[in-house]
Chains A and B, each alone.
Chain A
Amino acid sequence: MRKPRRIGALSLAAVMGLAACGGGGSTTASAGDTPVPGGTLKIAFWDDAQGCIDPNQVYWIESRSLDRQIADSLTDQDPETGKIVPWLATDWTVSADAKTYTFNLRQGVTFSDGTPLDATAVKTALDGTYALGPKSLLGLTYLAGYKSSTVVDADTVTVDFNTPNAAFLQATSTTTLAILSPKTYQETPEQRCAGKVVGSGAFTLDSYTAAKEAHLTKRKDYAWPSGLVKNQGAAYLDEIEVSYIKEDSVRVGSLTSGAIDIAWPREPISEADQQLVEAAGGSIESRPLPGISYQLVPNVAKGGPLADLKVRQALQKAIDRKTYASTIYWSEYPVVASVFDSTTPHFADQSAALAFDPDGAGRLLDEAGWKLGGDGYRYKDGKKLTLVDPVTVALPGDQLVQDQLKKIGIDLQLKVVTAAQRVEILASGGFDLVLTYLTRADPSVLGSVLDQAVSQQGSAKYSQDAATATKVSELFAKGLQATDPAARGQVYTELQQYLIAQGVSFPVYERVQVAGLSGKVQGFAFTSEAFLRANDIWLAR
């Protein structure tokens, strides 16, 4: 028997606003044993396509897992409750209009170059990240409406926004808004990407070669983790060695043969490979990546079939998400239940609205005038019901959806294009459906791909008609104004219901971060965004 995986359909909305549970961080079964300091943790990611390590600039989730060890943030987020807790800031106040944030800073914190953390350093970091503009794709949304930061005194900093940004508090817990040493901001963005970054984290970055390797050494004087970390002092591990292995079988083989301690892929480790890992004495850890679930977004502006609400509603019913999860992944793999993954704060379960209903889908298509033809596909005025989805690789999952849609008479065409062509197609609206997803433990993240008021992306520009867009933008704006958790929860619940009912988004599967650990690794923990947190990790001898 395999050990139970740590996949729980956490209904975070239900527990939001409750007190933080203190201990925090999920740990492996044998974490009760006394940690042994020392040793080098070898971890292999699958790829480093962005080739950048600067926490302020990087969007690549593997790099963000590394950055969490190098750089600290003003706040931290509890993976269990989604609650924001103190870290470099001991406490804070948020104005009722969500436009002004004041942080009191922890004392005695230093960056690894010796510079102390103070209000000026925080101002420099926020100004520096904002100045990156489009070079920091995530920073653009995290700092939406940023006006300025003001040094009140050495330990107090105020951040002002031109427009409400209630999601900013969560943003301060991310690696994107990690506070780096003021000297870092004297380097060019390119140099920072290439590894010239200094933070106040439990580890320092010794070297980084894009797509090849990274080397981290612990800071012996580290003493300021957030309360979510058990180990309040220096890390147990002496070093972390990072490599990138593209081939799944080679990465898993490296783990089972003892060449690495953690195999960290992007696609979940297959069931067969999980058994290999467990047979070799290792274990599997997993956590859904909070944020936008893997979903398809329609183009309603093209005048194609999806301009008709009935066709979109039929499509919503035609996707069999339960079968998708168990076929593409495995039987207990979580079934997507909303436009957000289940670990996103204010996630509200929409399973009922996303239920598989082929008959209902067929009826809706009949009503919309799409009649079944002799070849099993539907036709209207002699035109076939064809939807074009541009992909760079036609994955088994895409083909499964294609097959599911075919059963009710929809011809889904997976148009394989290069990444370069895809960008053009997205910008020009030459698609019917297009995939999107993004990791962030705050529901406002969906605005960056769907809200026409803030995003120029194809997924926002073409997915809604004018009336729908007004309503969607209104809900996103309301979410960014609501500072009270209950009020935020209400807004985002309404938003989730609306997007699914209007067919603005077609969730397909829940994105799960799975990591394979060797038997030596103890005290493993995910952050709230399903990134690595190495403070508590130690290696059994």
Chain B
Amino acid sequence: MLRYILGRIAQAVGVLWAVFTATFVVLYLLPSNPVALLLAAGDMQADDLSPEQLAALEAQYGLDKPVYVQYLDQLWHLVRLDFGDSISKHVPVSQLLDERLGSTIALGATAILFTLVGGLSVAYLAAWVQWRPAKILLARLPAIGVSFPPFFVGLLLIQVFAFSLGWLPATGTDGWRSLILPAVMMSAPTAAMLAQVLTRSLNDTLGEPYITTARAKGLSRNAVQARHALRNAALPALTLLGLLLGATVTEAVVAETVFTREGVGRLAQEAVLAQDVHVVQAIVLIAATVFVAINLVVDLIYPLLDPRVTHTQRVS
């Protein structure tokens, strides 16, 4: 078991290093000079700086050094969790993250909660309900959820719940009420995918002989489904959930734009457009860390649900 965990952690670190290197290479290859961006303006483009002033700015951001030195420099700083300064916003990246990470975490956590509750309850109900029309409706619901683009779902939610009914705010980053609509938007496709996979595997599991045995012992349908079927049907859903949660960061970009929320998602979008190297680096690494961490947790939960996982590892 320990070897399994250590192996997974080593793998995670390797992935992060690869992500850092890939981002560095991509950003370095892009044809532009970050210092020129300092002068790029929304209303005008001025490059009225003398070559000396440009050189001084390049030195300030360490852009005058050879590529491999910049690479090692950044890697060394990152190991110590120092992300450097934002080129477009003139403040340390850590300060930007400090300001914006909280609201994205709150949004992501709420969306994950909605994904779990929504996905689980739809799948559970779909397997449990006996009345055919309801069963069909519940089975089709996920397909609808997946097929609507999140952007459109967001605007629809705003139209209905903010503008027409006036129940929840359309924009802003204050309090739990402003979290609900964007979290619903983010969780709609993920909950739908989760429900789809879980419904399928629940239905498969419910056909297994041991379920018939459990039924025969006199357990209620609810008890059979909750205690026996769900646990065994959860494995494929868990794998999917790991992937879905990792995608939360990318979904936050859309949610934070539509709902005008402060957060890392929007920061990422702005940073990419402005080619703000240090900010992009930091966000990509955070996203990768979240992804890797979630999948690590998923991998660690596996053996608890199904002991065969670790066993097989040791044999091979």
Identify the A interface with B (CB < 8 A): 44, 49-51, 59-61, 134, 137, 140, 190, 193, 209-212, 243-247, 249-250, 253-254, 256-257, 259, 418-424, 426-427, 436-439, 448-449, 455-459
Q: For the complex formed, measure the closest distance between the CB of B307 and the CB atoms of chain A, giving whole angstroms.
A: 50
B159 touches A253 (CB 8 A): yes
20 interchain pairs (CB within 8 A)? A59-B44, A134-B39, A137-B39, A137-B44, A243-B171, A244-B260, A245-B171, A247-B258, A250-B171, A253-B162, A418-B32, A420-B36, A420-B40, A421-B32, A423-B32, A424-B31, A438-B43, A439-B43, A455-B48, A458-B47
Q: For the complex formed, measure the closest distance between the CB of B172 and the CB atoms of chain A, giving whole angstroms.
A: 7
B275 touches A420 (CB 8 A): yes
B91 at the interface (CB under 8 A from A): yes
Interface size on B, residues (CB 8 A): 44
Q: A423-B32, A424-B36 are in contact. Are A250 and B155 (CB under 8 A)?
A: yes
B36 touches A253 (CB 8 A): no
Expressed in whole angstroms, the Cα–Cα distance for A429 and B296 within the complex equals 50
Residue of B nearest to A445 (CB): B44
A259 touches B262 (CB 8 A): no
B274 touches A257 (CB 8 A): no
A250 touches B258 (CB 8 A): yes
Q: A250-B155, A253-B159 are in contact. Are A423 and B47 (CB under 8 A)?
A: yes
Specify which of B34, B43, B48 is in contact with A437 (CB 8 Å cutoff). Answer: B43
Q: A253-B162, A257-B162, A420-B36 are in contact. Are A210 and B44 (CB under 8 A)?
A: no
Is chain B's interface secondary structure helix, strand, loop, or mixed overall?
loop
B257 at the interface (CB under 8 A from A): yes
CB-CB contacts of B37-73 with A at 8 A, as 1s and 0s?
A: 1011111111111000100000000000000000000
B90 touches A59 (CB 8 A): no
B40 touches A419 (CB 8 A): yes
A247 touches B43 (CB 8 A): no
Residue of B nearest to A210 (CB): B89
Known: A134-B46, A247-B260. 10 other contacts (CB 8 A): A140-B46, A211-B262, A243-B172, A243-B260, A244-B260, A257-B162, A259-B170, A420-B37, A421-B32, A449-B44
Residue of A nearest to B173 (CB): A212
Expressed in whole angstroms, the Cα–Cα distance for A422 and B47 within the complex equals 12
Q: A59-B41, A134-B53, A427-B36 are in contact. Are A420 and B274 (CB under 8 A)?
A: yes
Q: For the complex formed, measure the closest distance between the CB of B283 and the CB atoms of chain A, giving whole angstroms.
A: 16
Question: Within 8 Å CB of B258, what residues of A?
Answer: 247, 250
Specify which of A49, A421, A457 is in contact with B45 (CB 8 Å cutoff). Answer: A457
Expressed in whole angstroms, the Cα–Cα distance for A59 and B89 within the complex equals 15
Question: Within 8 Å CB of B169, what residues of A?
Answer: 259
B236 at the interface (CB under 8 A from A): no
Question: Within 8 Å CB of A250, what residues of B?
Answer: 155, 158, 170-171, 258-260
Q: A243-B171, A423-B39 are in contact. Are A190 and B155 (CB under 8 A)?
A: no
